[in-house]
Structure 1
Amino acid sequence: MSPVDRLNDMLRRVPAWTVYVLAVLPPAWLFWQGVTGGLGVDPVKVMEHRLGELALQLIVAGLAITPIRRIFGLNLIRYRRAIGIVSFVYVVLHFLCWLVLDMGLRLDQVAGDILKRPYITVGMVAMILMAPLALSSNNASVRKLGATRWKGLHRLAYAVAILAALHFLWLVKAWPLRPALYLGVILLLLGYRAVSNRAGAPASA
Structure 2
Amino acid sequence: KNNAPGSQQPGLNVQDSASSTARSTIEAKIVLLGDSGVGKSSLALRFCQGRFNPYHEVTIGAAFLQQIVRLRDGSQLKLHVWDTGGQERFRAMTHLYYRDAAGAVIVYDCTDAHSQASVKFWVQELQSKGPARCQMAVAANKSDVETKAVKASDMKSYCDENGLLFVETSAKTGENVGHLFESLAARVATDLGR
TM-score range, shorter chain: under 0.3
> Which of the two has greater helix per residue?
1
- TM-score, normalisation: structure 1: 0.26
> Which of the two has greater strand per residue?
2
Structure having the higher Rg:
1
- TM-score, normalisation: structure 2: 0.28
